[in-house]
Structure 1
Amino acid sequence: MRGLVCLCILTAFLMAAPPFAASVEPSGDIFKKDLPIDLTADFITYDKAADTYTARGSVVILQDKMTLTANEARLNVTTGMADAAGNVEVFDVAGSTLKADSLTMNINEKTSVAVHARIFYKKDNIHLRGKVIKKTGPEDYTSDGLTYTTCDCADDETPAWDFEASGATVTIGEYMTAWNARFHIMGVPVLYSPYVSLPMKRERQSGFLQPKPGYSKLRGFVLKNSFFWAMTDNMDSTYYLDVETRRGLGKGVEYRYIRNRKSNGEASFYHYKEKNIDRVREFRKGANNLSRPKTAADNRWAFKLKHLEDLGPGTTIKADINAVSDDEYFLDFGRGQERTLESLESNVALSKNWSSYSLSAQFRHFNNFLSAYDRDTLQMLPVMSLKNSNQRVAGGPFYLSGDYNYAHFSRAEGMDGDRLDAHPRLSLPLSPGGWFDFTPSFAPRATWYLVKHDPHGRYAERYLYDVTVDMTTTFVKIYRPEFESVKAIRHTFRPKLVYTYIPEAVQDDTPKFDSIDFVAAANNLTYSLNSILTGKVSDADKSKYPDYVYMDLNQTYNINEGTRNLNGPQDKRRPFSNVNGEIRIKPAAWSAVTGSPRGEATGRGSYDVYNKWFASYDASLSALHSVGDLTASHRFTRGSASYIEGAARAHAAKTVDLTYTKRFSITNHKSLETVYGMEHKQQCWSYQLSYTERPEEKVVYLTFNLLGLGRVAGVQGRIDGVAQ
């Protein structure tokens, strides 16, 4: 109710004097003394002694983009007093209007009084009525008998909803007070507040956000409260208090800041006091198949910090720090994929970029949720990397690039130490006859280790090299179809062939910290085919270039595998890798007509040429049309997971939408989530009704929305289940 009062009264007084300049800040002036006024009427007289103009009959006053009409009007030039009476109407070119029985103005003091005023603000479709609306100062207003709504209806009809206050005063940029505030639905009062006093800010406003009630067997009655504090122009914060009668109490804070255009950040801390953590674990059984070490106690917390700092040209520092109290935290407080996290990383990185070089240093810390104490979890503190792009060598035909990195690995138990890896590359770009690009390259690689707790010794080293030959070309053809909006279609085709050779190297004695520590031998030939259809779509004076079709295929042939000796009659060579591909199709992009159907189909996968099946794929489809929307996706990994997800929205009637969402695990033959919904929209109000089924709970939500006020009420509850 306080939110209704605040927004209603604020809008009322912003509009009481000047509802007519939607593009500027309200000033409170209907007419300005520094601009000329054009006055026409049936009769105009001037009283020289009183210095007063009087106009009667079809009075029309024009100034800039403002128009006032009335039966009669008077203006005292000496005092600056003006009044209009009889069917007074003020309107602007934007469509906003002020109607009143009478209107009195003091142009010099910028005050006015409107009697039996009816105001319509076109920008937000706001209707206001007031017995008396007074502007008493540059930023001060009072009103008696104010009514507010965004519902369109005739003067003698009752709006679907409206707000009424017996009186209110407000100072723009300061505070607002109102009394006897009532909220009506079809003329019936349903909410009441005797008195309110709230801050009134033109920009961000501090205050309580909408509370979120709920209920579940695990949590009991739930009330989530939050308060937003607009601290300064570049800082704000939000404070949380979550009351759950059966489970416990949560407290949290979020802080956001912007130092300058390139430096900003945010931090948050949340603490939850459990009444009984063992009871939470009992409710969690059966709701998911995830398990973690039981490290949680009754005091649980989470901390996050993200920061980006610009230290000068090309130099930045980024921090992404995450910490939680226990390994079970995301099982109980995580959202979406957070619940399946097996580890949590914190990262601080300092980087410097030049035109051809980049230098970075990272500190990476990992929290392993599968290990109770993390004593054997490998940390990278720090990792330093130097990279350089292709640089011409001594003005000759050769180019030099490279990737060099140093890492310090540490952990409480197990092998740790230091590693230095150097991987320069010398290449010779050629273009024989201009028909294709041909680039051979040679890249020696050296890796040195200084390790602790290694049975093979304190020092280790590895030397190897790789040779690559890259051959590619591009074919382009332009088509000119006879379509109204598509002026041209460009087909780009890029075949590519890459040969890679890495000799066999003894790596049994080297430490194994990450993927850099083992480089497999290779004698491979890889082809790739890339095809793109791009259109030129003209719309008025603009041209767009959408990609209609994007396709990419690649496969590798292992020469060593294809030429090796067989070990027996049952042994078979399998030199070909899976065929990996990606495709994106946007058929609706052929049209430039606004509102035409839109759609997209995407797919990426890996096909096993020997077993003749897909090893994995990810396919999705989306379609948008005036009758409804549809999205569907299927993710598949052989022997691991198969998952489908779909959503549909049907415009069943002009004011009614029906929605359906489904998530299903084919692997487990189990529905993960099903949501049925209905949305009913009217001109100034709407409601959403949804029913959700998950393995651990069944939920019903009912939410009401009022145009201009947002969500004003909600009902929700859980049925026959437990909360996640």
Structure 2
Amino acid sequence: MRRRLLLFFLPSIYAPASIANEALWNCVQNKDSKEWVCVGEKEPAGKTSAAKVPVDVEPVKGVQPIKDAQPIPTKAVENTQPVVAEPERDAVENTEPPSVPAEKAETKVDAPKLPVNTRADKDTQQVSVEAKPIAQPSADSNLKKTLQTEANRPGWTCDAKAADKNWDCKLVGADPKGQARVIETPESGMSFLTPAFDHNEELTFSNLKSQLKYDPWQNCAAPGGGKPGFVPEKDLREASPLDIDSDYAEIFENEIYSYTGNVEMTRADQRSVSNKATYDTVSETLDLQGSVYYSEDELALHSESASLNLASDQARLREALFISPATPLRGRAKTIYRESSTLSRYKGVAYTSCRPGNQDWVVHATELKMNKISGQGAAKNAWIEFKGTPVFYSPYMSFPIDNRRLSGFLAPSFGNTQRGGLRLETPYYWNIAPNYDVTLRPRYLSNRGAILGGDFRYLTEMTRGSTDLEFMPHDSLRDKARYLGAIKNNTQFTPHINSNMDLNYVSDKDYFSDLGNALSTSTYSSYLLSQANLGYVNTGVSLTGHVDNYQSIDKAITKAGIPYRRLPQVNLNLNHSFKFMPLTTLLDAEYVHYQHDSVVEMTNGQQNDLTPVNAQRTNVKPSISFPLQTASAFLTPKISLQSTQYALSNPSGGLIKLSTGQVVSSSMSRTLPIFSTDSGLYLEKDMNIFNRSYLHTLEPRLFYLYVPNAVQDDIPVFDTAPNDFSFNSMFLENRFSGSDRVGDANQLTAALTTRLIDAKSGREKLKLSVGQISYFQDRKVIYPGYQQTLPGYFPDTDKFSNLVTEFDAGLTDHISFSSGAQWNPHLNRVVRHSAMLHYINEPGEIINMGYRYRKNTIYPELSGTRPYDIIQSDVSAHWPIYNDWSVVGRWTYSLLNNSTQESFFGLEKENCCWRFRVIGRRWINSLTLSQNPNIVNSPTIVDATGISQTGVFFQIELKGLTGIGEKLDKFFEQQIYGYRAPKDD
């Protein structure tokens, strides 16, 4: 018979439990004679028994079967005899065993202190057939354990009984409804030692995994993968009853409750199954015995015995297996002592993050202690085996068990570069205070020497920041000391006032190329920027003060090519929209003080010292616009007035060279009106293509711009350059960036955009944009140093601009294509073209292929050598090949110079428990350039062959434990389109 006990507001259970098929008693009552028939008794004369009982089953000593049962009183029975409730009538009348377990029925019996609910199963007739007294030991415990584990797999498990040849079927988990059950095959691997977990333990781990609400290892190998979402029930424990079911139950002295046979306890997310359970209501102790299983949202356990003190929150488990799905980790311990809810001790521990069936790495320890209060764990005599081979031993180690920071050594990193040689870095983390910490990063380069480095971080209520310092006392190749310093700070004074500071300085231009790891630092940067700002931002108001400075870290950039410092720059932006009419007013005001160092220039073999032309510039641009808009059209006329004032120091300095060559005056000004009108339509239509609904749009757009011509040749250029021509730049009011030049214009931009949108998902499947500018007059405002003539090409006198097209297509859910082209009507040729094809199937299956072409139209005097032309291919991929191994790489190749611009290639092995990556990289640090004295601010390429460098980088990580080597995920994200770093990184 099945017994059910409801215990309200008991503390959490911390022991596991397992389903068993043994029952101590199986008694049924005849509805006519009211006589009970139990295990070991003979059938009543003239009656058909509900189940045939083998005569060799011995009764349990000290407990006699009930022969003449009386009606159960409503009060509890205060003796040691078993409490037996009358089963439902159907349970006695139905002598034929059902093919599957039937619904359970309940009857209630009052009991002191704890309400006891008993339930009888319609299939109790068969339960006693195989039942044996608990006092009789098992003949083959290992086989029994294996059979129990197999029986607990999700799905139907059926067995024919030896006595009556009837099928005994049991359902675990969801009904597969006829579908085949998948049996996991343990992964094979090379091992020099005895496996840490034997076959039976691996089967138990698989059973524990099936009891969780999700598979902890389901998405562990995929970048960005995580556990599936589920609704936790942990918070419902205190408000939920403890529901106990068993085949047999006894009450001793109204204090001790004993349950035997398929004891199942459930409360909220907690569930335990065992062969036997005893609960003492006075001491509040719970003992579980016989293949004990326990599972909850955050834990799954198996043990042969478990003792729990619910009052003191203590527990003791022996020969326990466990799974922690959050990490995920699984392991074994000979003994687990739970001293309190925050302190646990383990003896003879072995654990891993590998999925069941895989034991690539395992950590062993004789003793392990976990303290939730300190957030720290400690292990004694710990050693790590990888692929069955011991690789590390430590007599003592401590580690964090949550996200709190602890002082200690971090994982070392290795690498090798051509200039630095073999690199070894062993960082140490010092947790000074909750809001202060230091990471010391000493590293050694075999070709150059030792570098002392570290960073200090701080955090307050308003401020966060860091300070990085590096110092190399002696570079053996350069025979000098080298250093780096960086300070970053962000402060939020009020909700509207904030400041940012980012200061950087290095001892020489080659610091990063010689001493960096070539992964964390961009190899294409020519300047090291230092800046700071203080700003106020509110609705309709923005006021910002800014200072900056540039340091060249490229030998090809001379002092004359370094941008001007802004000390300071102040910007004021105001905007206001009126609600009673379509009117918007704007004001952009700027004040800048430009500074530059003196420059030494060689002319005809003679040295010339050039005193810089420093300046103060004030630019004010008020504007009024009238935005008129409906659901399908918009029209926005706008009028602006831009006024710029200059005050120059040393106007005759030689650093700034004008196109006219005249002497610059000490003060000058320029005021220009600007008129523009932006208009467009939005037309849409529903379409059906291949039985799929789409929304097709047509979006024509016209943009007219008029700016009168003003002579600006006498104005120096401090921070201005031509905008790169593209589809979006055709709708700007100035073809130059910055305020030193305002381009004259009388032009009309005509563009058309069409889209095809999936009506069901809202995803944009196709997008095509086409546009061109029609010029109504020649452009007279030019940029200093730009030649205006090129055979067959007249950019400032052409009547039409390049015809620009941009095309994007989501061909499938995994394949996308993007392309852009510019066709010059006067040259009758394509001057720019790019195309990129992306295939992204799974997060780790990525292929990108691209092509880029660009014709030189900036420095026509160099058209014969084509140094500014670009003809380039670009291929990148991350693709699995075999058994969790993947290839990863990128190759950028110049078809013009027949040379590789940049490349890296490597292998990656990643599964649920470890990750290994190794790549070889070749890159170019800088180009060999020289300065053209006629184009001071624009370098002329003399030798386009860059200085290449090679390096090898690797990373190995035991998930859930530690790792060594470079963090390659961020590098892959920058280099491979579509790659996403795993969340645990």
How many angstroms apart in 2 are the aligned matches of 1:544 and 1:168? 54
The residue aligned with 2:741 is 519
The residue aligned with 2:449 is 248
Shift of 1:523: 4.1
Question: Deviation digits for residues 530-572 of structure 1, max 9, x if unmatched?
Answer: 414152453xxxx54546315252324152379xxxx9x9998
Q: Aligned AA for 2:265?
A: I
Residues 651 and 313 from structure 1, CA distance in 2 versus in 1: closer, same or farther, beyond 3 angstroms?
A: closer
Contact 2:415 2:953 in 1 (8 A): no
Question: Deviation digits for residues 660-698 of structure 1, max 9, x if unmatched?
Answer: 421223343222344333334555445445444557555
Matches within 5 A, 1:606-685: 606-625=822-841, 628-638=845-855, 639=866, 640=868, 641-653=870-882, 655-682=884-911, 684-685=913-914
TM-score, normalised relative to structure 1: 0.78
Residues 547 and 207 from structure 1, CA distance in 2 versus in 1: closer, same or farther, beyond 3 angstroms?
A: farther
Task: Choose which of 489, 494, 498 in structure 1 pairs with 2:704.
Answer: 498
Shift of 1:511: 4.2
How many angstroms apart in 2 are the aligned matches of 1:608 and 1:87? 81
Matches within 5 A, 1:478-627: 478-481=685-688, 487-505=693-711, 507-515=712-720, 518-519=740-741, 522-533=744-755, 535-538=757-760, 544-546=762-764, 548-560=766-778, 574-579=797-802, 581=804, 583-588=806-811, 597-625=813-841
1:450 aligned to 2:679?
no
The residue aligned with 1:191 is 392
Shift of 1:584: 4.4
The residue aligned with 2:43 is none
Range with greater deviation from structure 2 (486-495 or 371-380): 371-380
How many angstroms apart in 1 are the aligned matches of 2:515 and 2:805? 36
1:320 aligned to 2:502?
yes
The residue aligned with 1:99 is 302
More strand as a share of residues: 1
The residue aligned with 1:466 is 673
How many angstroms apart in 1 are the aligned matches of 2:335 and 2:547? 66
How many angstroms apart in 1 are the aligned matches of 2:584 and 2:321? 77
Residues 687 and 366 from structure 1, CA distance in 2 versus in 1: closer, same or farther, beyond 3 angstroms?
A: closer
How many angstroms apart in 2 are the aligned matches of 1:460 and 1:490? 56
Contact 2:526 2:557 in 1 (8 A): no
How many angstroms apart in 1 are the aligned matches of 2:415 and 2:676? 63
The residue aligned with 2:284 is 80
Shift of 1:373: 6.8
1:350 aligned to 2:534?
yes
1:330 aligned to 2:512?
yes
How many angstroms apart in 2 are the aligned matches of 1:698 and 1:252? 24
Residues 547 and 383 from structure 1, CA distance in 2 versus in 1: closer, same or farther, beyond 3 angstroms?
A: farther
Q: Please, what is the CA RMSD of the aligned residues?
A: 4.2
Q: Secondary structure at the match of 1:581?
A: strand
Q: Aligned AA for 1:251?
A: L
How many angstroms apart in 2 are the aligned matches of 1:189 and 1:621? 46
Contact 1:510 1:517 in 2 (8 A): no
Task: Choose which of 590, 604, 617 in structure 2 pairs with 1:419.
Answer: 617
Consecutive unaligned residues of structure 2, counting only runs of 5 or more, are 1-207, 217-226, 598-610, 653-662, 721-737, 781-788, 856-865, 925-947, 969-985
Residues 386 and 570 from structure 1, CA distance in 2 versus in 1: closer, same or farther, beyond 3 angstroms?
A: closer
The residue aligned with 1:593 is none
The residue aligned with 2:348 is 145
Residues 321 and 636 from structure 1, CA distance in 2 versus in 1: closer, same or farther, beyond 3 angstroms?
A: farther
Question: Deviation digits for residues 388-414 of structure 1, max 9, x if unmatched?
Answer: 336669x88876433322222233432
The residue aligned with 1:53 is 257
The residue aligned with 1:177 is 378
Q: Secondary structure at the match of 1:159?
A: coil
TM-score, normalised relative to structure 2: 0.59
Matches within 5 A, 1:57-456: 57-92=261-296, 94=297, 96-153=299-356, 159-174=359-374, 175-185=376-386, 187-198=388-399, 200-215=401-416, 218-230=419-431, 236-259=437-460, 264-278=464-478, 298-333=480-515, 335=518, 338-369=522-553, 378-389=564-575, 400-412=585-597, 413-427=611-625, 437=635, 439=637, 441=639, 443-455=640-652
Contact 1:20 1:121 in 2 (8 A): no
Range with greater deviation from structure 2 (601-610 or 226-235): 226-235
Q: Aligned AA for 1:72?
A: K
Contact 1:471 1:498 in 2 (8 A): yes
The residue aligned with 1:477 is 684
Consecutive unaligned residues of structure 1, counting only runs of 5 or more, are 1-15, 280-297, 590-596, 717-724
Q: Secondary structure at the match of 2:282?
A: coil
Shift of 1:701: 5.4
How many angstroms apart in 2 are the aligned matches of 1:416 and 1:715? 44
The residue aligned with 2:204 is none
Q: Secondary structure at the match of 2:531?
A: strand
Q: Secondary structure at the match of 1:414?
A: coil
Shift of 1:474: 0.7
Q: Secondary structure at the match of 1:278?
A: coil
Contact 1:460 1:509 in 2 (8 A): no
Residues 665 and 54 from structure 1, CA distance in 2 versus in 1: closer, same or farther, beyond 3 angstroms?
A: same
Q: Aligned AA for 2:253?
A: K
The percent identity for this pair of structures is 17
How many angstroms apart in 2 are the aligned matches of 1:325 and 1:495? 52
Contact 2:550 2:562 in 1 (8 A): no
Question: Deviation digits for residues 207-229 of structure 1, max 9, x if unmatched?
Answer: 32211234566545431111234
Residues 225 and 400 from structure 1, CA distance in 2 versus in 1: closer, same or farther, beyond 3 angstroms?
A: same
Range with greater deviation from structure 2 (516-525 or 53-62): 516-525
Contact 2:569 2:591 in 1 (8 A): yes
